[in-house]
A and B are shown apart, each in its own frame.
Chain A
Amino acid sequence: MTRTSLAAVRPTRREFLQAAGSVTTMALTIGFEWLGPSRRAAAAGASPAVFAPNAFLRIGADGSVTVIAKHVEMGQGAYTGIATVLAEELDADWAHVRVESAPANVKLYANSAFGMQGTGGSSAMANSWSQLREAGAKGRAMLLTAAAKDWKVPVTELTTEKGVVFHAGSKRKAGYGSLTAKAAALPVPDKVTLKDPKDFKLIGRHVPRVDVPAKVDGTAVFTLDVALPGMLVALLKRPPLFGATVKSFDPTAASAVPGVVKVVQVPHGVAVVARSFWAAKQGRDALVVDWDDTHAEKRSSSEMMNEYRHLAEQPALSARKVGDAVPAIKNAAHTVSASYEFPYLAHAPMEPLDAVVKLTATSCEIWAGDQFQTVDQANAAKTAGLDPQHVSINTLYAGGSFGRRANVGSDYIVEAVSIAKAYGADGTPIKLQWTREDDIHGGLYRPMYFHKLEAGLNEKKELIAWRHVIVGQSIMAGGPFEVMVKNGIDPTSVEGAATIAYEIPNIDVELSTTRSAVPVLWWRVVGSSHTTFAVEAFIDEVAHAAGKDPFAFRRDLLGHEPRMKAVLELAADKAGWSAPLPKGKGRGIAVGEAFNTYVAQVAEVTVDDAGRVTVDRVVCAVDCGIPINPDVIAAQMEGGIGFGLGAVLYGAITLKNGRVEQDNFNNYRVLRINEMPKVEVHIVPSAEAPTGVGEPGVAPIGPAVANAIFAATGTRVHLLPFPKSSKA
């Protein structure tokens, strides 16, 4: 299929802007002031010699280069990539580059992919490519002009390298720091010429991450580490069932715990505010709350899945239609069918959710690993009864997120603001701390889904028809992003399925959207976290039915998709696809596209006589356009593979009569070091504009392993997570 048809089921940027607009209208209309060079310098309390030609760059008189990042650093390497792109055009000395997080300011720092400030959709590098190269190039042009004026030489005779301007003719040189005062007095040029990629010195090279040293010696500051004078710690007791509310509570026992300061009711539950985490925890354990579960979800997830199976046989809405798949399958010479079941998944970032709020009658200051600044600012303002301009956000390092910290209700931020408000809004800083149990029980899961697939082959065993029915909850429905749901189709429910890349003359993709009080959310790689599994596991079954090699079968259906075909071929080649394996071992392949990045993976597994699976090796090929930082790209593929593998081996949130059955890492298992395969990453050279790598590596690993298990054992995987017998 073509990019045009991909676009047909993808929300356009315009729709993103509409969606964003409905939550950010207030934020957009409050009139943020542009902090020009002098204002910015003054605001930062720096010397007037600080040179700040735009909102993304500040150069100090000491030559230090500060890049202001509008994306949160949650592990994906955004700070390093952002700084690299800007420093490249600035010709900065990497050793003197530091990164600072941007304040919440949608006018200056909107994500160009969705029109508001936030991080997601693996968008940081695509966002930065033109914006930050230009920001760096303009800064460099002004420094050059300042030197040319000073030395009375033509600007064309000047060169730059590692933060120094050179004039070869007169053998003069000047560090950027010595030129800041003069550069700051110059007008910002309207246009600037960007480097020819052949001249790149940082992009495409091994540039060390800016955040690594502080993350190795314990000095990196996360929200957990914020300690303000007089700060209190709050733990919130939330309802045991989704959709339940507080009927009544008795604070007596909680208040009697030494260190507990106050017990307050908020819309989400009852909070215990104390002088320490330990006191708050003991207070919450002692707190007695009576819940009203009239409107709560009381079903078990097994009942919900039964309903999904039934719905898969009922008429559904069309998400993609090419030709007419139903009669084509009915009349086909050979047919194949299978269904796949996917559980709810928790994100479980290593840092349990936390936020610090300092609320007064006129202002609200927030500290968080904030992923959705414009939305969080608007929601915090609404909760506090303030204008968004009076809500400031300090974005800190996030201890992982995988999507969890970006949600339209700003759950953890709103809880913290609500508690600070109920406490008295007297300026006392309050840190809301979630425990791991709060996180696992806390909802906003990757939705549970049921997928039913059917295929038809002709007499020559060529694939002629494909029908794919998806049943599950919508991530976008019922909130400000509802506008993205078109004709009943939430694009995040069907991406990767409706966008199937294989050339098939009859395609029918249908969606049946279910409802539940269980809140759901995007989870690393969003729709492709389940659709790529279904498509890639099923195409493998179809290849087998056609009597074809699974790699060759895919390749032959991708003639019109050169980038996807290229990663598939590269992965197969590097993996030694056709080399024989001993008995008990198997090799599986899968390919996918997410956020315009193409990834193929070949997994090699060993299955012992007891059915235990060990994933020995994964070979990964990725095409993300121009590789900005090959080592970060490799790291994101390695990590994405480990994250995705943990999910397919173990990940499941299940409900029993509405109550979540998992609590902590003992029964919500994730991958550990002894289960991590050897991973080899190969990056396709490219001249295309860069695309993201934080998420796309997650999608193919599940089906690659499932297909390898089939190759080793002849048994297909249809239930996620893999059945216990197939676990290591």
Chain B
Amino acid sequence: MSAPLPTPPEPPPVRDDEAWERLYLERTWAPKKGLIGWLSEVHHTEIGKRYIITAFVFFLLGGIEALLMRWQLSGPEKQVMGPDLYNQVFTMHGSTMMFLFAVPMMEGVGLYLVPLMIGTRNAAFPRLNAFGYWTYLIGGLLLYGGFLLNVGPDAGWFSYVPLAGPQYSPGKRVDIWAQMITFTELAGLAGAVNLIVTVFKHRAPGMSLNRMPLFVWAMLVKSFMVVFAMPAVMVASTSLAMDRLIGTHFFNAAEGGDALLWQHLFWFFGHPEVYIIFIPALGMLSSILAVFTRRQVFGYLPVVLSMVSIGFIGFGLWVHHMFATGLPQLGQSFFTAASLMVALPSGVQIFCWLATLWGGRLWLKLPLYWVLAFFAVFVTGGLTGVMLGTYSVDQQVHDTHFVVAHFHYVLIGGAVFPLFGGLYYWFPKITGRMLGERLGKWNFWTFFLGFNLTFFPLHFLGMMGMPRRVYTYGVERGWQPLNLLATVGAVIMAVSITLLLVNIFWSLKRGEVAGNDPWGADTLEWGTTSPPPSYNFLHLPTVRGRYARWTAAEDQPVVTGVRSDRKEVLVTRLLDAAPDHRAELPGPTLWPLWVALATGVMFIMVIFTPWGIVVGGVLLFITLTGWFWPRPPYKEELAPEQPS
């Protein structure tokens, strides 16, 4: 609090005066200034933006790695890279795209949008948000720092033992991978808990669970999946690190350990991971569909139930990644059936969306382009998924480029296409300006063309027997024409992403000014300014239907009585979102950064010495004490008994 405030009239519990209200909110929620202010930021829009931008930078890096691989594979016996560097590059590509791009990107979008969509002023745990971001950033920097120093991991994005174990991967490469996993998963878990509690406890009055936007449902399901999936990979990566650093034998068959245990733990996380990436995209898609067909999404209930059931089924089919490890016959049948079962809710959803399109009046703007392309690409990937989920087919094409084609169709088709649609859709909200339409169409068509040109040929290469992860191949194989085609496609995709970048930077400066609601959209984030102010809403909104802004009454009430001279928010009840109490959220602080750095010291130091646990533990205790130490008290909120 710097400059003195004009003395207000004695704080009335209900402030009707909008100018006063705005003045107070701006003063109360203003971020701190300068570098310290930047480092101590805890507001969800700012943290969300940082997640999105950082994840996008990693997406570009992962894309460059992909281009390098396609260059190497564009012809037989090419010498762009040797096998050692190639191993590092494909490991970096997979790890980057999964752990540093896809999951954090979806989480960032969720953290940015969910509090706005449910009509509150910040996430439930603002400092945890900041901590999550810093931890993620440290993990990403560790991975790329290692890569630059030629200790980039090289055992593949799932680091199978025994290859990744101490015997076959000496040195520090896999340790860096394992610790990067621990960092990013910690960040993922922090974000997930934050989203769950924000959704459960901070929804605008009236937004009962059955009126939540589909996007919020998607983020909720995703967050629950994170909570139950990511501990698996943390247990796995910790065990692997201990095998490598202090001589444990979790995966050492000679001493009673088991290499397959790694695969079980990894895929118990790894398969749900796919849905953790995919389900938020379904949320984006549903938001876009409703707005650009100008109608409610067909079958709200089946769509929500499908998302929830995908969330459950997603945990029951990890073994289909292990079909080639020799399973008992019952296991083969069970996991084949489970894998095929996930096609049922997916199909229900697809048909609900098709029905939405069928019954709506299409407003063909760029966000909808990406969604329509999603249907084509994702369904193709889903069909090969049904093939691969079948034990007998999987035996034939396991570890070939057929699998590479499949998962790029489902992941890029299922997640990146809706994500780019979401980018075109929400960019005006985040920045206040529209993305250019003309350049946007070029971006879309080149990406669509480039994508199919890159990945469709890989199906055939896989069936011709080309394995994944080979750094080159002989002339006599006859794989060159299709590989060259795929490389040409990759270059077109690179051009497309360049166009997108140009569009973004151009639009940030010159784009058409968006206004609050350029699309006539239904969700609450469009009810505030673009970009939203640091307090999100001048008046906290109330809701009386599923499509909050479309169903709002002429004189829809707003919430009053939440203090604007403190960072107070309304806490509502879980099921019906009736007002329950008011709670104060913490403001900007450096402690999350210190705690993240202490965590960083611990996880990075243990790569070199077990003393890292002790040093990091002490640092963590000190910094956490600082984090939890209470701020100066308010007189009227004191407990009845005080220390004398």
The reply to whether chain A is a binding partner of chain B is no
Name B's A-contacting residues (CB within 8 A).
none
